[in-house]
Structures are given as structure tokens and as C-alpha cells.
Homo-oligomer: A and B are copies of this chain.
Amino acid sequence: VRAGILAVGSELLGSDRLDTNSLRLARRLESHGVELVRKSVVGDDEARIAAEIAGLIGEVDLLLVGGGLGPTADDVTREACARALGRPLIEEPRVVAAIERRFAALGRVPTANNRRQALVVEGAEVLDNDHGTAPGQRVEVDGRVLFLLPGVPFELDRLVERYLEPWLAAHAPGGALERRTLRVAMRPESEVDERLAPLYDEFGREAITVLASPGEVRVRFLAHGAERSRRERLETMLRRGRAALGEAVFAEGEEATLEGVVGDLLAARGRTLATAESCTGGLLAERVTRVPGSSRYFLGGVVVYADELKSVLAGVPPELVAAHGAVSEPVARALAEGVRERLGSEFGIGVTGIAGPGGGSAEKPVGTVHLAVAVAGEPTLHRALRLPGDRERVRLLASQAALEMLRRRLLRADGT
């Protein structure tokens, strides 16, 4: 099976936006052993979209078109597809009804533009979109298949999961290439690379990819071939990778998150968490609560930007701030211990630092961060960090380091 991807949207031809949907689509195709032979981007121009579809549909078995299904006048993918295939557009009553229901739930009435989203290429299957008003469409053309998908990433992903994935499972040859990923937090890429060096020799350099992003390194193991030998090879590589990287591995798989792993550890041990943050400004609590069900173990947190609030909300003695400065080891410890006691949790995290761009000094430059983890009935842990990068990066890395510090502490509590 050979596939092509067409992204529609004039904004994708400008100088600040790329078609990132194609990366996620490419991953799906890869995992089913489908060869992606061509990607293209055209603007919101009916004739051009139509020409592109007409050209591509002759070249590939599976054509994924994303974008241009919305309600505005420049959303013309429906019309372009109909023109390319020489078929009429038909208003689908079921979609009209769904749009009307959706608007009614919000107390509104759809406009004529909204109704355009119910136009379907003759013979197409409607792909229900529960998260937007524009449905997708699946059209068969002489044994080839064309999917019209929304351009909004969130909606696209859901339609892909619901409709494209089963199609691929049924029609693609099945897992020619398979990969597994180990994830490591807050370790340098060069360290990960060195630890993996013996595996490069054993399994080949091309079987292992090391990808760094802020605060995280992903190690991807690839294997081709028949299912059984491929799986065995992957299992061996993963085992060796885990042995080489040790406790630094926080998860396996592309989907896992550090906050999810920490949450699972807390939930499994029946422990609760509270946070007190200064420089991260709520990012730590926000990450912890991204996880569905986090209310089982997260009680709450305080964001103490003004120094007085460090005392009011987390019980930090004002004289500590006066003596050591708000960004200091004693204040980080007091934040962690104070929030743990006040909020009544077993674990407390304190974060204080200088995210920049202002506020740095020679002694405490931008990027200086103090972290503390308080544990009921045990000594409080502390780490001092000098983090690189701008405000956003410092905040991200500080929250990442705090989660990783708690993760390691939770592992030890378990004796592993």
C-alpha cells in the first residue's frame, strides 16, 4: 500500500506554520508498513486542490487530505474533491441534523455556512466528528481510497483513530516496521548516547535512534521483518536498553508522560501530593492535574509569587526569606514542608527559582532553581539546579526536574 498526504490551508504556505499533522499521520502509516511516497501543501484554492487530488489519486492507493472542511468561505476541500472526482456534492440530512443538535446544545442556530459542512461527495461515507461540526469523508475511487479529514489536530486525531486506523488494520500488510521507545528525563543526550554505545555495536546504529527534547531523551528501537523475529529482537533491545539506562528510564512508549508515571506511583502507593510553586507559576500543578483521575492523589497547591504569600499560604517563616532570599535552599525546604503540612498530604514539593528574563544576579543568575521534596516523617530532600534557556524553558525544566525528583523518591520508598 502506497500513501500520499495533502494538507490544505493557505496559512501552511506562509513563513510561520508547518503541516505538523503529517508527522502523526506518517507514524500511523509506518506502524502499518504503509509507504508514504509524497506529501504536499496547497492553499485554499479550489482549482489547485482539485488538481492535486486528481494527480495524486492516480499515484497512490491511499490519499489523506487534511483541512478545508470548516464552515468559512475559504474552506473548499469538499468542492475541490467533488470536482476532481467528477461527482456532485449532496447535502446529508444526518449531518445537518447533527450540526443543528450541536448548535442547539450551545443555545445557537447554525448559519448557512455551517450547513455547508453537511455537503458530502456522492458515494462517500460520512466520518462522524464528535469534536467539531465538520465531519470527515471516505471516498472509494476505482479501488483507491481517499480520506477527507479535518485540519484541526485534535479533531483529525480522533477521526484517524476511529476510521483510518481500522482501515489500515484491514488493508495494510501489517507491521513491516515496528518500534518501541524508552524515555529518560533530565539526563543529557550525550550521557544516554554513551550508555547505549555497546548496543549500537550489537544491533546496528540504524536500529537505535536517540531524540532529545527539553528535559527528555527518547530512545527508539526499530526492527523489521516477520512478526516473531521482529518482536524477539525488540524485546532483547529493550531489555538491554533498560539495563544500560537503569533507573533513568521513566517509561516505555511514546504516549506516557512523566506526570502520568508519577501519578501512577502515587496512586499505587495510596499517597497524596501538594505543591508550592514560585517560579513555575502553577506549571507543576497544571502538569500533575493534566492526568485524568489525578484528584485521587493530588490535593492541591499554592502559587506564591509575592513573598508575603509564601508565609500566608505555605507557612514559610518571613525571617527565612529575609535571611536567605526567596530563591534559596531553606525557602524551598520550607515551601515543601509547609504546603505538605497545611494541605495534609504525604508528599510536598517546593519550587523556587529565577525564570528570567529579569531578577538574576551574579550570585543567583537566571536559571537558578531550588527544589525540595518533603515526605511525612522523613527528612526533606533538596536539589539546586542551574537551568539553561529562556523563561519558558527554565520553567519547563524546573517542573520536569521536580517531577523526576519525586519519581525517584517514590521508587526508593518502595525499595526498588
Contacts and interface: CB of A to CB of B under 8 A. Distances in A.
Interface in A30-71: 30, 36-45, 48, 52, 55, 70-71
Contacts of A12: 39
Copies of the chain in the assembly: 2
Nearest to A218: B11
A16 interface: yes
Contacts of A14: 26, 30
Contacts of A294: 281, 305
A41 B210 CA distance: 18
A189 interface: yes
A389 B38 contact: no
B23 A18 contact: yes
A84 to B, nearest CB: 15
Nearest to A310: B300
Interface in A1-28: 10-16, 18-20, 22-24, 26-27
A236 interface: no
Interface stretch (A224-232, A241-249, A283-291, A406-414): A283-291
Interface stretch (A105-113, A118-126, A167-175, A261-269): A105-113
Contact of A299 (B277, B305, B391): B305
A312 B13 contact: no
A376 interface: no
A310 to B, nearest CB: 9
Contact of A193 (B24, B72, B277, B305): B72
Contacts of A286: 280-283, 285-286
A364 interface: no
A356 interface: yes
A337 B44 CA distance: 48
Contact of A290 (B70, B298, B357, B391): B391
B302 A313 contact: yes
Nearest to A197: B73
Contacts of A405: none
Interface in A126-176: 131, 152, 154
Nearest to A36: B13
A388 B40 contact: no
A40 B37 contact: no
A357 B292 contact: yes
A209 B23 CA distance: 25
Contacts of A106: 386
B289 A281 contact: yes
A293 B298 CA distance: 29
A390 B154 contact: yes
A235 interface: no
A15 B26 contact: yes
A327 interface: no
Contacts of A108: 188
A203 interface: no
A211 interface: yes
In the complex, the 5 A-B pairs of residues with the closest C-beta atoms, listed nearest first: A281-B289, A282-B285, A282-B282, A15-B27, A282-B286
Interface of A: 10-16, 18-20, 22-24, 26-27, 30, 36-45, 48, 52, 55, 70-74, 105-106, 108, 111, 113-114, 131, 152, 154, 188-190, 193-194, 200, 205, 209-214, 220, 254, 275, 277, 280-286, 288-290, 292-295, 298-306, 308-309, 312-313, 342-344, 356-358, 386, 388-393, 395
24 contacts: A14-B30, A16-B254, A37-B48, A38-B41, A38-B42, A71-B189, A73-B205, A106-B386, A131-B393, A154-B393, A281-B285, A281-B288, A282-B289, A283-B286, A289-B305, A290-B391, A292-B356, A293-B358, A300-B302, A300-B303, A300-B309, A301-B302, A309-B343, A312-B343
